Amino acid sequence: MDFKEEALKVKEDLIADIQTLCRIPSVLDPATAKEGQPFGQGCREALDCMLAFGRRDGFEVKDVDGYAGHIDIGEGDEVIGVLGHLDVVPVNAEGWIYPPFSCTLKDNILYGRGTSDDKGPTLAAYYAAKIIHDLKLPTKKKIRIIFGCDEESGSRCMKHYFSKEPYPQWAFTPDAGFPVCYGEKSGCGYTISGDCPEEGLLSFKAGQRVNIVPETAEAIVVGELSDFSDSFEAFKQKYGVGGSLEEKHGQVRITLIGKSAHASTPDLGKNAIVYLAQYLNEVIDHPVSRFIDDYFRDDNHARRLGFYFNGAMGEITCNVGIIDYEQGHVRIQLDLRCPHDMNFDDMQCCIVKAIKPMGWTEEHHIGPYLFVDPESELITTLHQAYVKYTHDDQAKPVTMGGGTYAKSMPNTCVAFGMEFPGSPNAIHENNEILRVDELMLGVAIYAEALYHLVK
């Protein structure tokens, strides 16, 4: 069966559905949250849209209290699942070639938030399952396309969904990269807070989500424009960052612009908090900027904090995702991705030691990790589907720092695509894209994998 040929037959319909879904700004919005739409109006609209696609195509659908939903395709007592998410990270409209929620198609590329993370891949998997159904291929198991609305903010959707619905036998989530990921690091979070004197720094704020390398940071300091203009310009040139200065009533607002990235791959970004703290530490003396500069400058792997580790899943990563300092009180949030075989007690001791001189306190959580035998039937089936349609037998199954819905199941779900090796799609960044050729290839790979899992 040539699923690539079958995928091309549904190309126009698939693109149209992706555009419809991606034009919904499904960002977490507590202000519009209520019963039946726990994550706000945009997420509710995206959920309704996906359910409507299933009804339109004649499948059974279910809404699980507005947290998540599913579409059932085919028959069978056993279920093979696909777990995708309909929520997206916030956007900064500046710097986008096209409006972020326009889902513009240009030169065979779809531009827009959610095209690659994760609305486009979720629909690619849905269309793959639909192809199997429409071709009336013999199957013994049901395919269930499950979609949640809170993956970017803690996956409360899947916790609720699986409290009401059974786990599939096996599943994958199209929310990472090919060829296939058999392990995910533990996601750990620290919130550091405390008081400190202002001493010339009136505020320091940045970050919307701790799982994103912040692109922009702002500080307000006491002084005049002339006190900072030359040094800030030199700093920007030296480190390849942007920014501006604005003076008002004896105060200067310093805005620094770095580069956003996902917290699991912080080396791909330029953390605006860390760079601004480094600059502030050069021109003023303040405990907040000094702490960040001392422990995070040029270091996304906890070396300065004292608990660097490189294990079976790779290196630990550390992202300073949020800072909120004003009126002498600071709150700093860290996102760490930790290999399962590191010493978590060492991490705790090192962070407590670092904040003790300031009298600050910390709260933390240590999340689960995922590990599926790389020789298992699930991994080999998915990997073989990838190799069949890409002819790439050099890319082997991997582990990663990113956390996905796979962790919501008991080591029976893995991340599988849809980003291809060497072809980044600016996920969590400005100008997120989905290349149509790769979209269609993804549909073929998913159809191949699903068919082998259900037949």
List, by residue number, the catalytic residues: 87, 151
Say how far apart CA 185 and CA 407 lie, in whole Å. 10
Residue 69 phi/psi, 5-degree rounding, is -155, 175
Cβ contact 179:395 at 8 Å: yes
Q: How many beta carbons lie within 10 A of that of residue 133, not counting itself?
A: 17
Q: How many beta carbons lie within 10 A of that of residue 140, not counting itself?
A: 11
Rounded to a whole number of angstroms, the CA Rg of the chain reads: 23
Which residue type, as a one-letter code, is found at position 142? K
Query: What burial class does residue 8 get, using C-beta atoms within 10 Å of its C-beta: 0-12 exposed, 13-18 middle, 19+ buried?
Result: middle
Given the structure tokens 């159809």, which residue do they identify? 447
First-last CA distance in the chain: 13
Q: How many beta carbons lie within 10 A of that of residue 38, not counting itself?
A: 19
Say how far apart CA 446 and CA 321 lie, in whole Å. 34
What b/e sequence results for 148-183 when a residue is b if at least 16 CB atoms lie within 10 Å of its CB, and e otherwise?
Answer: bbbbbbebbbbebbbeebeebbbbbbbbbbbbbbbb
